[in-house]
Amino acid sequence: MADDWDERFAWAWDLISEDPARRDAAHLRLDGLRTVRAAAVTRQEHEEASRRLLPDGLWTGTWPGLARVPREVRYRLLYLHWELRFPHEWAWHAKSWGTKTSLLRTFHQRAPRLARDGRRGG
């Protein structure tokens, strides 16, 4: 389950596309996923819908397994890159200062380990 990042978030790369139509489609998908979560009746439905959302789904998985699941790093960096490239769109669709702060703090704390594990091939 924690290794399904590409299945859950492959669409999210369009959030940083140079093509405005692709970004718009990704925004619509994100909004649709929020609608699905809002309509969830059970806790399980809510959790499953949250796993596919940005930034909520970024916290699925565990940091100790980060080196074994490099996709976690890619998608967490994608979230930060989205803000950098398209700050107004990021603010409108997924602004979360708490998530941003936590991501940056965690990357800072884990950077030596990520670099070391990355050189070993994870």
DSSP states of 91-112: HHHH--HHHHHHHHHHHHHHHH
Q: How many domains does the chain have?
A: 1
70: containing domain: 5-119
Could you check whether the bond before residue 70 is cis, i.e. omega within 30 degrees of 0? no
pLDDT in tens for each of the 122 residues of the chain?
446 888 888 999 999 999 999 999 999 999 999 999 999 999 999 999 998 888 888 876 544 444 444 667 788 888 888 888 998 888 887 777 777 787 788 777 776 666 566 555 54
